[in-house]
């Protein structure tokens, strides 16, 4: 369907990028309002520094930030690049997902789930918490989209096995490591998130997801660990809620990124890996 003509392919990819960037902007706004306990729907977007209500042009995803060169039109203070980066990430993710899943029911499910992962990543990054509400939303979206899948029963079975196997394995490991180290090693939110990703990915891909998440997590800690740690020290209340000062880098963003990579390439990586033994 996607490849009927090059014109249609290009048209659909541009549409995906526009939709992705708009949702990236919305999700970033949602995440920051959620963290600060503000109403998600009420009120117009304002500049964080001077409080000036933003105009239409300021709110155009990606382009708005570039036109303003990352500064507020009214007070000339730097605007946080969080929204700009979310917009770009979701625009690229949406285009890649379209290429991977073509125009299908699976695409719809993958797009919605990616939005949820984006919200989880942003909230965990800022507050060191993966809210149960978002975990439950992930389960509800999975159930609601089940009837759309090619073989719903098989899909449901694979999903439940994929979620339980990795989450249960991690839960057992985390209890053992907690005993050995005498402190929390892996957050409960991370384990719950691996249950949800398993629903969507199935057992093989969720195991791959875990491996990729660990690699991304190590890289992420190495590159951003210090700056996240410093920022968290200035945000002591949330930081104390997160428990341990020895665990300064949230794992949620790495899991979210790994899940996107697995959705896009997991099938191919696994068949390549299995092919090595034949």
> Binding to Zn ion by residue 75, rule CB under 5 A?
yes
HSE-CB at 118 with a 13 A cutoff on CA atoms is 30
Concatenated DSSP letters for 29-97?
HHHHHHHTT--SSSS--B-TTT-PBP-HHHHSTTHHHHHTTTB-TTT-PBPPTHHHHHHHHHHHHHHHH
From 35-43, 67-75, 89-97, 108-116, span contacting Zn ion (CB under 5 A): 67-75
From 9-17, 44-52, 132-140, 149-157, span contacting Zn ion (CB under 5 A): 44-52
> Binding to Zn ion by residue 79, rule CB under 5 A?
no
From 18-26, 37-45, 68-76, 261-269, span contacting Zn ion (CB under 5 A): 68-76
How many residues touch Zn ion (CB under 5 A)?
6
**Would you state the structure tokens that stand for residue 127, as one six-digit string?**
């507050």
Nearer to Zn ion, 60 or 112 (CB): 60
- Selected from 54, 59, 74, 184, the binder of Zn ion by CB under 5 A is 74
144, 199 Cβ separation under 8 angstroms? no
HSE-CB at 173 with a 13 A cutoff on CA atoms is 11
Nearer to Zn ion, 65 or 158 (CB): 65
Least CB distance to Zn ion at residue 47 (A): 3
Nearer to Zn ion, 49 or 229 (CB): 49
Nearer to Zn ion, 57 or 75 (CB): 75
> Binding to Zn ion by residue 49, rule CB under 5 A?
yes
Residue tagged 């520094």 (tokens): 49
**Would you state the structure tokens that stand for residue 156, as one six-digit string?**
């449901």
> Binding to Zn ion by residue 14, rule CB under 5 A?
no
> Is residue 144 classed exposed, middle or buried when 0-12, 13-18 and 19+ CB atoms within 10 A define those classes?
exposed
Residues in touch with Zn ion (CB under 5 A): 47, 49-50, 72, 74-75
């Amino acid at each position: 369907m996607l490849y009927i003509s090059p014109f249609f392919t290009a048209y659909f990819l541009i549409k995906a990028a526009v939709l992705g960037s708009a949702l990236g902007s919305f999700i970033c706004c949602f995440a920051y309002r959620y963290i600060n306990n503000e109403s998600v729907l009420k009120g117009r977007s304002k500049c964080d520094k001077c409080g000036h209500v933003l105009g239409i042009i300021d709110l155009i995803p990606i382009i708005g930030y570039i036109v303003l060169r990352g500064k507020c039109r009214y007070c000339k203070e730097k605007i946080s690049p969080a929204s700009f980066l979310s917009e770009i990430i979701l625009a690229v993710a949406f285009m890649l997902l379209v290429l991977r899943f073509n125009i299908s029911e699976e695409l719809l499910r993958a797009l919605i789930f990616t939005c949820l992962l984006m919200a989880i990543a942003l909230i965990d990054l800022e507050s060191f918490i993966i809210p149960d509400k978002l975990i439950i939303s992930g389960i509800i979206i999975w159930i609601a989209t089940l009837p759309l899948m090619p073989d719903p029963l098989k899909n449901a079975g694979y999903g439940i096995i994929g979620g339980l196997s990795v989450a249960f394995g991690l839960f057992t490991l985390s209890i053992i490591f907690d005993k050995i180290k005498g402190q929390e090693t892996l957050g409960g939110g991370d384990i719950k998130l691996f249950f949800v990703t398993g629903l969507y990915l199935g057992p093989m891909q969720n195991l791959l997801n875990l491996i990729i998440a660990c690699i991304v997590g190590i890289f992420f800690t190495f590159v951003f660990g210090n700056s996240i740690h410093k920022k968290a020290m200035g945000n002591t209340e949330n930081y104390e809620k997160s428990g341990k000062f020895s665990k300064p880098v949230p794992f949620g963003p790495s899991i979210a990124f790994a899940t996107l990579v697995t959705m896009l390439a997991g099938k191919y990586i696994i068949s390549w890996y299995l092919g090595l033994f034949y």
